[in-house]
A and B are shown apart, each in its own frame.
Chain A
């Protein structure tokens, strides 16, 4: 147990101001997100992530938002287990035809007001997979989309920027 405490103490706090492309600019973004969330969403927004057919690359980077560097919860954003608890749906992947109904039902289960963010190139336009017998392509082909975060996959910073731009618009 002592070793554990020692490691915690020597590691210290690694959370850093979100940086790149410009430190100051993005730190301001972080503060801006927080202000928006405090004002508009009484302190926090809840996100439900749905993989509608991705290769799992986007999920890895969404996971990274919870690591100690980005620690997205400090901005008042947290991930929830049910669409019924969510304000925002974060949808990845081209929508596979086999996931189409599940996505529609998840969307319907999310209480209003709700926002949908399409994450990654596949969710934005179908990406490498496009539209086929097995894929509906972009998320917007299946449910209404409020914001798009491009990238294959988008970096954690791009995800944060995308979420901020959504907050600013709503």
Chain B
């Protein structure tokens, strides 16, 4: 069934159910339709979409004068359906979609904490992003909430969050965090265990909530790109890219072909750097220091070339509205290609050594198993999804520039264990190296930046890219005067964190770190 067929079928089914769809004009390119429905039909829309096999991708709200607009982004076969509805400001209520799509659960709780929109029938009434920095009667993303808020001198700890409890002989609880034992972001995990076996895990995140959505308001495009590049520091290229696409759509601005290719090179280099670090860290978590040292050495070499060619070891602020900040010279391209040849050779040596190592195999095969049906139900993206049979990659399925100019294979596995996520990452490195070479070969002389022009007040844009963790969404709406009125970045972690609670079940507590690292969700990108 091709994409147009499923949108038409869904529309007919909605009409049969008495739901009127108002298809709106959209500037979103490529492949995104915008459907407005009545608030009462919000849950039914989700039910019919679920039956049609659509994946729930992102949800957010915005305040427009006397009302709120709530958005839910759905996807199937690389075609996105942006559904939206309007609700009154005085009594902001909406039927919950989380009853249908578990992926919507935390997102709706976030929207409730930030806007005070009540999702009727939501299975979990607890706050999510809100701890104690604001009270339940105030909502930071409302326009009348001052950006400074009215904080206490010392924000009290979030002590009384009602975790799920366990009872019975021999069961006990392990609280972990927010300050962890390693060099890692903060968050809280609550385990229930019997002996070493994990019975249940609950995540409590939100500790690094920095108010990104609120402080985005009033920024210029350049300033928003900088902020987007710090939603999650390890994904700086892809987040700023998604935000720039959204802003460029709103402004009706295209970027030079050369700039798109350089963005592609940057994003693939970011993917390689992170996978190198993570593969080493997975090995380190099972005390296999040889691999950790080898991979951290390769990562360091790779970052040094980032610094030489692009001026920054993590590639921050290289993607800017209208194009990219700096060009690559012929000698840069030669250096990048030499690096790739060297890295391929080294990886082959090391991976052969790892593959023959039974003590590593013992720890990663069958551990941290994520079945395909759970991965699908939660809309899991990126390498976590692709290791559990979720055949989706924005680069291939949306084919945005420069990925529309190249052919490449997306790695897919279905064993769903740590080993599977390990191998997917290795294959993604190999594929990324080839993509970088292809992009370099496609480079022709030309501009790298188009002049920005001010978007019309109220215009909006939707940026979707495949970051190294998976699909990234950025929604942007402009105010007048070239200023941002709404920015919502959806990191892949927001979809992937919940499945960690599932894949650790029936594992032992000492295997939690390696289960966690094989998924490696971003705390900052989740907490916003």
Chain A interfacial positions (CB closer than 8 Å to B): 1, 3-4, 6-8, 10-11, 14, 49-64, 66-69, 79, 81-83, 93-94, 96-102, 104, 106, 127-135, 152-153, 155
Q: B185: CB under 8 A from chain A?
A: yes
Chain B residues contacting A97 (CB-CB under 8 Å) are 131-133, 151, 155, 209
Q: Once the chains bind, are A131 and B156 in contact (CB under 8 Å)?
A: no
| A residues less than 8 Å from B500 (CB atoms) | none
| Contact residue among B147, B181, B206, B349 (Cβ-Cβ distance under 8 Å from A98) | B206
Chain B, 512-528, contact with A by CB distance < 8 Å: what is the 0/1 string? 00000000001110010
Are A4 and B183 in contact, CB atoms less than 8 angstroms apart? no
**8 Å CB contact of B234 from A11, A60, A130, A133:** A60
Would you mind naming 27 contact pairs between A and B with Cβ atoms under 8 Å apart? A3-B353, A6-B353, A7-B294, A49-B183, A50-B179, A51-B184, A54-B208, A55-B231, A57-B314, A57-B316, A61-B314, A63-B277, A64-B299, A67-B293, A98-B206, A98-B208, A99-B207, A101-B154, A102-B157, A102-B207, A129-B210, A129-B215, A131-B148, A132-B214, A133-B211, A134-B211, A152-B316
Whether A130 pairs with B157 at a CB distance below 8 angstroms is: no
B147 touches A133 (CB 8 A): yes
Interface string of B201-217 (1 = CB under 8 A from A): 00000111111101100
CB-defined contacts of B313 to chain A, threshold 8 Å: 61, 155
Beyond A55-B233, A99-B208, 9 extra complex contacts between A and B, CB < 8 Å? A4-B356, A11-B297, A51-B186, A53-B210, A56-B185, A67-B296, A133-B149, A133-B150, A153-B233
**B128–chain A nearest beta-carbon distance, Å:** 12
B interface residue numbers (CB < 8 A to A)? 131-134, 140, 145-151, 154-158, 178-179, 181-186, 206-212, 214-215, 226-227, 230-234, 236, 277, 290, 293-294, 296-297, 299-300, 303, 307, 313-314, 316, 349-350, 352-353, 356-357, 522-524, 527
Knowing A93-B208, A128-B226, A153-B314, the reply to whether A101 touches B156 (Cβ < 8 A) is yes
Given the complex, which residues of B lie within 8 Å of A53, measured CB to CB?
A: 207-208, 210
CB distance from B222 to the nearest CB of A (A): 12
Q: Is the CB of A64 within 8 A of B148?
A: no
State whether A67 and B300 are in contact (beta carbons under 8 Å apart), knowing that A55-B232, A102-B186, A134-B214 are contacts in the complex.
yes
Q: Which of A10, A102, A133, A152 contacts B214 (CB 8 A)?
A: A133
Please report the C-alpha to C-alpha distance between residue A67 and residue B280 in the assembled complex, in whole angstroms: 11
Contact among A60, A81, A94 with B233 in the assembled complex (CB-CB below 8 Å): A60
Q: Bound complex: CA of A139 vs CA of B255, how far in Å?
A: 39
What residues of chain B lie closer than 8 Å to A51, measured between beta carbons?
Answer: 184-186, 208
Q: Looking across the interface, which residue of chain A has its beta carbon closest to that of B316?
A: A152
Q: Which residues of the other chain, A, contact B212 by a CB distance below 8 angstroms?
A: 129
Residues on B with beta carbons closer than 8 Å to the beta carbon of A64: 296, 299-300, 303
Which residues in B have their C-beta under 8 angstroms from that of A127? 230
A-chain residues with CB within 8 Å of residue B300 when the two chains form the complex: 64, 67-69
A63-B208 CB under 8 A given contacts A3-B353, A58-B233: no
Contacts of B183 in A (CB 8 A): 49, 59, 62-63, 79
The answer to whether A98 touches B314, judged by C-beta atoms less than 8 angstroms apart, is: no
- Look across to chain B and name the residue whose beta carbon is closest to the beta carbon of A63: B183
Q: Which residue of A lies closest to B356 (CB)?
A: A3
**Residues of chain B contacted by A93 (CB below 8 angstroms):** 208
Shortest CB distance B352–A (Å) = 5
Q: Does B140 contact A134, Cβ atoms closer than 8 Å?
A: yes
Chain A residues, Cβ within 8 Å of B207: 53, 96, 98-99, 102
> Does the CB pair B353–A4 fall under 8 Å?
yes
**Interchain CA distance A51-B523 in the complex, whole Å:** 11
Chain B: CB-nearest residue to A94: B210
- Contact pick for A68, options B210, B214, B215, B293, CB 8 Å: B293
Is A100 a contact partner of B154 (Cβ separation < 8 A)?
Answer: yes
The chain A residue sitting closest to B522, CB to CB, is A56
Complex Cα–Cα for A39 and B300 (A): 32
Q: Which residues of A contact B214 (CB under 8 A)?
A: 132-134
Expressed in whole angstroms, the Cα–Cα distance for A60 and B154 within the complex equals 29
- Bound-state CA distance A1–B358 (Å) is 10
